[in-house]
Structure 1
Amino acid sequence: MADAIADAFDTGVHALIQAGTGTGKSLGYLAPALDRCATSGDTVIVATATLALQAQLAKKDIPAALDAIEVVHGKRPATAILKGRTNYACLYRVREGLAPDQDTLLGGEEVAEAAKASGAGAESVIGAEVVMLREWAEQQLAEHGVADRDDAPSHLPRSWEQVSIPVRECLGVQRCPFGSECFVEKSRDEARKAQLIVTNHALLAIDAMHGGTALPEHDLVVIDEAHDLVSRVTGAASDELSPQLVERVARRALNHVDDDTGMQLLEAADALKSALDEAPVGRITEAGVMTQAFALVRDAARHAVSQLATKPDDRPAVMQGADAEKTQAAAAVKEIFDIAERMAALRPADVVWTTDRDRFGRWAHVAPLSVAGLMREAVMSTATVVMTSATLKIGGDFDQVAQTVGLKRKERVDSPSVEVDRAEESTELHWAGLDVGSPFDYRRQGILYVAADLPNPGREQMAPEVLAEVAELVWAAGGRTLGLFASQRNAEAAARHVRAQLPDLTILCQGDAQLPELTRRFIEDPHASLFGTLSLWQGIDIPGDTCELVIIDKIPFPRPDDPLMQARQQAVTEAGGNGFMAVAASHAALLLAQGAGRLIRRASDRGVVAMLDPRLVKARYGSFLRATMPEFWMTADREVAVQALKRLQAARES
C-alpha cells in the first residue's frame, strides 16, 4: 500500500486503494506522505470522515510515523489538525453579554450538573451549560491557547451553538475585538506552517466549493474512509430552510431595518409555513406553491440585505455592540437569501424536497444531484489524490466509486489488481485501483449464514419467523450479538421479542441511552447484545469475543421515498445506465460490507454474520452485493450457524 501511494505521488496518477480491516492503512498512507514532506517539501492534506478519526491520527498514528521518519531522514515535518470554524469556541460569543452579575458561587461545570440533577427544563440546562462552556473556554485560552469542542465537558448541541459562530457571521480577525486571541485563526496559522494537515471530508468539500479558501495550498491529498466521501460532500453542499429559521433571522434583523422590511421578512416566514403545510411531502420538480414561497423569502431577504449593507468606509476598525450585531444579522439574512434563491430556481443540478423533520413542522431541503463535477474540477484536477477505505470495490470493482468522484470508467491493464483510467490526455485524470487485501483469513474466521428459507422482508413489521430466528441465534451465541436493523422500529421489535424469550440475557437497544454508554455496557457485559440502526453499521469497533454474532435483518437499500436517491437513480436511468444498480444497489453493497465488517476486527476473532434477508442469494443482484462483502465461508443451513456459535460458547466455558 505504501509503495502504491509513493508511486501515485511520483507519477501524478490518482489511486483508489482498498485496504481491509487490520491492514494498518493509517500508517500505510502516513509513511509515504511524511516521507514526501521530508524529501520534497510537499504539503499533504489528509482528509478523514470523522473528528474521532482525526483525533486518533493526532494522538496515536502521526506521532509513531513521525518518530520513524525522524530516524530515517533526521527531520520531523510539522503537522497540524484543521477543523471547521464551529468546532472552536468563539471568544466574541463567549464574552458577549457576560456581565459580572452573571457570576455564580458555583463553577460552570457544577452549575450544569446541578441543573441536570435537579430535573430542570431544557432551557435551564442549556443556560447552565453555556455558563460552563464560557468558563471552560477562558480556562483553555489561559492554559492551552485553544478551545476545541472535542476537549469540552459534556454538553448539548444547542449549548455549543451559543459559544461558537457560523462562518458567515464571523466579524473577521481585523474587526473582532478578540481577533488577536482567536482560536480559529491560531489553528489556521499552525496549518499554514505545517507540511501535513489533517482535516475532514466536510472541510475538503467547503474548500472545493469556495475556491480553495478553507485549506492551505497543497500538492497532495489523501482521503481516508473514502467510502463515505460522497455522502459527506453532499451534506456540506446541501442547505435547508424552515419557517422557524426565517422568523428567527428576521427578528435578529428587526432593530437594523425599517418596519416594512422587517414585516416583509416575518410575512415571508408565515407564507413559507402555509406553503409547507399545504404542499405534499416529497420532491419538488416544478413551479408552484412552494417555489412561490421560496421566492417571497428570497425577495424579502434581498430587501433586508440591502438595508443592512454597510459601506466599507463606514465600518469601525473594531466592531462591538450594535455594529457587530448588525454585521452578524446581515450575514444571517444573506444566508437565508442564498438558500431561498437556490430553492426557488429549481436548477437541474439540484434536488429540492420537503420533509416532516421534527415536532416543529416541515422543512425544505436542497442538495446537489451529483458531486462528481465538483470533485473532478476542484479536487481531482488540482492535486494528486489517494482515496483509501476498507470498502471501495463495489460489486467487485472500483468503477462505481471512481465515477461518483468524477473519474472516468477505466480500462484494465496487465496486472489483474491494478486498473487505470484511459481518459483523454487533456484531462490528466488517470487513476489506478489496487486491493491490498486483508491480514484476516475471512473464510477460516467467519461464516456468512443467509436465511434462505425466511420470507422476503416487507415494509411492515418483522415477520414472526424472523423474530424467532433472531432469538435462536442470540441464544446460540449466549448474547455477544450486534444486531444491525434497517429501522428503529425493527430494532425495538427484535429487542422486545428476545428479552421475552431470553430473560437471562442483557439486550441493549439504541435509544435506551446515549450510544457511547450502550457501547460501554455491551463491551463490559460478556452476555450482552446491542441492537440498533445506521449509526452501528460503521465506525463501531468491538474486537474480541464481545461480538461473535452480527445479525442483519434486511438488505439496507435506501428508503424508496428518499427524494435525493430517487433523483440520482432517475438521472442514471435517463442517461442510459442502470439506476437501481448504480445507486440503490451500490448504496446497499457499501453498507453491507461495512456492517459485516463489524465481526472480524483482529486475527483471533471468530463468529457468524447472519443475513436474514433471502434476497442476498435469491435475487439477481445478490451476487453483486456479496462481491462487496468480506469473503466469509457461506451457508444457508441454520443448524450449521447455530452449532458454530454453540461451539464458540463451549470453547469459552472450557
Structure 2
Amino acid sequence: MATAVAQTLEEGGALVVEAGTGVGKTFAYLIPALLSGERVLVSTATKALQDQIYFRDLPFLRKALGISLDAALLKGRSSYLCPYRLELAESELDGASTAEVRWVGQVRKWSATTVTGDMSEMPGFVERSPHLPLVTSTRENCLGAQCPSFTQCYVNKARKEALAADLVVINHHLFFADLQVRESGMAELLPSVRAVVVDEAHQFNETGVNFLGEQWSNSQVLDFAREVLRTGNKLARGLGDWAQLVFKVDEACKRWMRCLGDGTHTRINWGDAAPEGADDKEWQESLQEQAQALEELEQALHKVAASSPELARLEERCHIHGQKAQLFQTKPKAGRVRWVELGSVTIRMVESPLDIAADMRAHWGLASTLEGQAEASPAAAHPAQSKRTTDDGASHAWIFTSATLGADPQLSHFTQACGLDGAQVLQVPSPFNYTKQSVLYVPADMPDPKEVARHGQAVALLAAEGARALGGRTLVLTTTLKALRLIGDALREALLAIDSVEVLIQGEQSKQRLMEKFRAPETPGKGYVLVASATFWEGFDVPGDALQLVVIDKLPFPPPHDPLIQARARKYEEAGQSSFARLFVPEAAIALKQGAGRLIRTETDKGILVLCDPRVVQKGYGKQLLANLPPMSRMRSAANFSEAVARLAASNAATATPRAQKAVAAVSGDEASLTD
C-alpha cells in the first residue's frame, strides 16, 4: 500500500485502497506523504481520528523517520471557542439557567489557559453539550473581519497555521465546506496542496451528499428570529418593530410545520408540490407566507445594517433564509431528490444529489470515461488517465482509503458514487489469521426476521447464552431502533439474575460513556453486554478480550422506504439494471463487513461472530455477502457454538488464574486456535 501511495504521489492521479483491519493504513499513507516533500492534506471522517493522527501518529513518525515537518490540525468553526460570543454570553446571563451560568463560567476560566481554543481540550468537555453554541460561532453568525474580537479569533489563527503547514489534518465536513467556499469565489479556507489523502473514505460520499445539497429547518429559522429580536432591541431599538416582524416569521414557520402532522424520527418523500401527507395548496401558501415575512424583515434590517456588523450579518442571513423559502416552493433540480426529515421538535427540508459523482469529477481531474469503464481493469485504466495539474504544472494526487469500500474487486460501488472512474484500485487483505482467531456462526434454527418479536427474542436468548458464559464481553448490533429496544429489554430480563453482567443499551448514556465502560469495566469482575445500532457498526474499537462475541440481528440492507435510497434505486431500474443487485446487496455487504470488523482488532484477539439471519444461507445473494466477510471458520450447530464459547471462557479463566491452565487444556486441547 505504501508503495502504491508513493507512486501516486510522484505521478499524480487517483488511488483507491481498501485496506483490511490490521494493515496499518494510516502509516501506509503517512510515511510516503511525509517523505514526498509535498504539501499534503489528510481528511478523516471524525474529529477523534483527526486527533489520533495529529497527536499520536504524526509525532511518532516524525521521530522515527528523523524528519522535521510542520503539521497543522484544522477543525470546523464550531470546534473553537469564539471570544466574542463568550463575551456576549456573559453579558446576557440575566435570566439564564444555573447550568448555563456554570458552563459559561467554566469556559471563561479555561479560556485564560488555552492556546488553541479547541473546545475538546477543555476539562469535562462534552461534544454534544446544548450550551456549546453559546461560546462558539457558525458560518451563519460569524462576523468575520468585522468582529470586535477578530484579532483573538482561534479559527483565524488555526487557518493561518494551516496555510503555512506542510501537512494539514482536517475532516470530511471541512473538506466539503471549503469546497463550497472556493466555488463561491471567496478566499480559500485551506492551503493549496498537491496531494490529498481521504481516510475513512467509505463516509466520503454521504458527507458530500449532505454538503452539496440544500437544507433548511425550522430550528434555523426560529434561532435566527430570536437572534434578530435580541440584537434588534439591543442595537436598533425604536428603528424597527422587531417584535412584530419576528412574530410574523415565527407564525409563518409554525404554519408550515403544522402541515406535516405529528410523526417523528422519519423521512417523508417529497415528489411533487408538497411532501407526502401535506395538502399542496396549504403547503405552498405557508412557504409563500414565510417568504413574505422574511422579505419584510430583510427590508427593516437593510435600513439599519450600516450601523453595526451584527445587523449587517443578520440582513445577509435573512436574505439567505428568504432564498430557501423560495427554493422549496419550486421543483427540485434535475438529478436531485427532495424529502422532509421529522425529528421530535425539528423539521428539516432537504434537496440532495443522489451522489457526489457529477459534482466532483472535475475536481479529481481524471480523464472522462465511458459509462461502465469503472468495471474494466483498474490497472489498465491507471496509466492512461489524464491528470489535473496545479499552477506549476504538477499533477494532483488523490488517495482514498478505508477498511470497507465495496463488494467487488473494482470497488465500483464507491468509485462510481464518487466520480472516480479510471482510478487505480488496490485491495490489501488483513494480515490477521481469521481462520484461527474467529468463527462465524449462522444459527440453523433462527426465526425469520420478518417475525420481529419472535426473532428479537431468539437473538436475545442466544446473546444471553454467550454473555453468561463469557461474563459479558458481548456486542449486539441491531439494524433498527425497534429491534434495539426489543432485544435490549429481553437481554436484561434473561440476565437479570447475573449480577456480574450488566446490559448497556445505546441511547441510555452518551456514546462516549458507553464505549468507556465497555472497554474498561469500572468494577473488577464486572462484564458488559452492549446493545447498539447505527454508529456502533463502525468506529467502535475494542482490542483485547473485552469483546469476544459480536451478534448481528439481521442483514443490514438499507431502508427501502428512505427517499434517497428509493431515488438511487429508481436510477438503476430506469437504466435497465437490478437495483437490488447494484444497490441493496453492495450496501448490505459493506455494512456487514463493518459490523463484523468490530470483533478482531489485533493479531491476538479471538472471538465469535453470530449472524442471526437465515437468509444468508437460504438466498442466492447470501454467498456474495459471506464472501465479502473475512475468511472465518464457520459453524451452524448450536452445540458447536456452546463449545466455542466454552473454549473462550476457559481461555479467559486461564489468563485471570494461572492455576486454570490445565482446565483450559482439557476443554480446548489447543490454546492457539479457537476452532481446533
TMscore range, shorter length:
0.7 to 0.9
1:462 to partner: Cα distance: 4.5
**In 1: Cα distance, 2:90 partner to 2:289 partner:** 37
Q: Is the 8 A contact 2:90 2:104 kept in 1?
A: no
Q: Which residue of 2 aligns with 1:148?
A: 118
Q: Helix, strand or coil: the match of 2:192?
A: coil
Residue 94 of structure 1: CA displacement? Answer: 1.0
User: Would the alpha carbon gap of residues 85 and 645 (structure 1) be closer, same or farther in structure 2, given more than 3 Å must change?
Assistant: same
Alignment of 1:77 with 2:69, yes or no, is: yes
For residues 301-336 of structure 1, give each alpha carbon's deviation from its aligned partner in whole angstroms, at most 9, with x where no partner exists.
34544543479xx85xxxxxx713313322432342
1:205 counterpart residue number: 176
Equivalence for 1:389: 402
Counterpart CA distance in 2 for 1:87 and 1:265 is 30
Measured after TM superposition, the shift of residue 263 of structure 1 is 5.5
Amino acid at match of 1:148: D
| Corresponding residue for residue 14 of structure 1 | 14
Farther-moved stretch of structure 1 (593-602 vs 274-283): 274-283
Please name the residue that 1:161 is paired with. Answer: 133
Q: In the alignment, is residue 189 of structure 1 matched against residue 194 of structure 2? A: no
Question: Which runs of at least 4 in structure 1 moved beyond 4 Å after TM superposition?
Answer: 256-264, 278-281, 379-382
- Give the conservation status (yes or no) of the 8 Å contact 2:245–2:293: yes
C-alpha distance after superposition, 1:73-100 (max 9, x if no partner):
xx5121111111111111110112634x
Give the unaligned 5+ runs of structure 2. 274-279, 367-387, 389-395, 654-659, 661-676
Q: Which residue of 2 aligns with 1:375?
A: 360
1:126 aligns with 2:100: yes
The corresponding residue for 1:231 is: 206
Deviation per CA, 1:96-145: give whole Å up to 9, x if none.
Answer: 2634x969xxxxxxxxxxxxxxxxx99432342133223322432xxx2x
Shift, 1:281, TM fit: 6.5
Match in the other structure for 1:611: 611
Q: In the alignment, is residue 399 of structure 1 matched against residue 412 of structure 2? A: yes
Aligned match of 1:538: 538
Name the aligned partner's letter for residue 209 of structure 1: Q
Alignment partner, residue 342 of structure 2: 356
Maintained 8 Å contact 1:476/1:643: no
227-236 or 459-468: bigger deviation: 459-468
Secondary structure, counterpart of 1:486 in structure 2: coil
AA at the equivalent of 2:487: A
**Contact between 1:451 and 1:636, CA under 8 Å: does it hold in 2?**
yes
1:480-517 alpha-carbon deviations (Å, 9 max, x no partner)? 11111123332333233233333213222223322222
What is the aligned partner in structure 2 of residue 88 from structure 1? 80
CA displacement at 1:264 relative to structure 2: 4.6
Indicate if the aligned counterparts of 1:80 and 1:196 stay in contact, CA closer than 8 A.
yes
The answer as to whether partners of 2:267 and 2:563 remain within 8 angstroms in 1 is no
Given candidates 311, 315, 325, the residue that maps to 1:326 is 311
Residue by residue over 1:466-491, the C-alpha shift from the partner in whole angstroms, topping out at 9 and shown as x without a partner, is 33333233334342111111233323
Paired residue secondary structure (1:185): helix
Paired with 2:96 and 2:645, the residues of 1 have a C-alpha distance of: 46
In 2 relative to 1, CA 262–545 (structure 1 residues): closer, same or farther, beyond 3 Å? closer
**Aligned twin of 1:59:** 55
Residues 479 and 529 of structure 1 are in contact (CA less than 8 Å); yes or no, is this contact kept in structure 2? yes
**The residue matched to 1:393 in structure 2 has which SS?**
coil
State the distance in 2 between where 1:400 and 1:275 align: 38
Aligned to 1:626: 626
1:466 correspondence with 2:459? yes
Preserved contact between residue 84 and residue 147 of structure 2 (Cα < 8 Å): yes
Alpha-carbon distance in structure 2 between the residues aligned to 1:244 and 1:390: 36
Could you say if the C-alpha distance between residues 278 and 650 of structure 1 is closer, same or farther in structure 2, counting changes exceeding 3 Å?
Answer: closer
1:514 maps to which residue?
A: 510
SS, match of residue 472 in structure 2: coil
**In the alignment, what sits opposite 1:418?**
none
- Deviation of 1:630 after TM superposition, in Å, equals 1.7
Give the SS at the match of 1:598: coil
Task: Judge conservation of contact 1:238–1:368 (CA < 8 Å) in 2.
Answer: yes
Cα distance, 1:26 vs. partner?
0.9
In 2 relative to 1, CA 402–507 (structure 1 residues): closer, same or farther, beyond 3 Å?
same
When residues 258 and 368 of structure 1 are mapped into structure 2, their CA distance, relative to the original with a 3 A threshold, is: farther
Alignment of 1:426-465 (within 5 A): 431-458=423-450, 460-463=452-455, 464-465=457-458
Size of the alignment, in residue pairs? Answer: 593
Aligned position for 1:250: 225
Could you tell which deviates more after superposition, 341-350 or 216-225? 341-350
Code of the residue aligned with 1:29 in structure 2: it is Y
In 2, are the aligned partners of 1:349 and 1:370 still within 8 Å (CA)? no
Distance 1:133-1:601 versus aligned 2 partners, 3 A rule: same
User: SS where residue 336 of structure 1 aligns?
Assistant: helix
Tell me: CA distance 1:379–1:301, structure 2 relative to 1, closer, same or farther (3 Å).
farther
> Matched residue of 1:198: which SS?
strand
Cα deviation digits, residues 422-456 of structure 1 (max 9, x gap): xxxxxxxxx11111211201122111111243122
The match for 2:519 is 523
TM-score when scaled to structure 2?
Answer: 0.82
Cα RMSD (Å)? 2.7
Distance in 2 between residues matched to 1:132 and 1:238, nearest whole Å: 37
Post-superposition Cα deviations, 1:554-597, rounded to whole Å, max 9, x if no partner, equal 11122232222222222222233322333332222221111100
Summarize the Cα distance change of 1:291–1:199 in structure 2 as closer, same or farther, 3 Å threshold.
Answer: farther
Contact 2:219 2:347 in 1 (8 A): no
| Aligned mates of 1:214, 1:444 — CA distance in 2 | 49
* Partner amino acid, structure 2, of 1:51: K
Percent identity between the two aligned chains: 31
2:480 corresponding residue in structure 1: 487
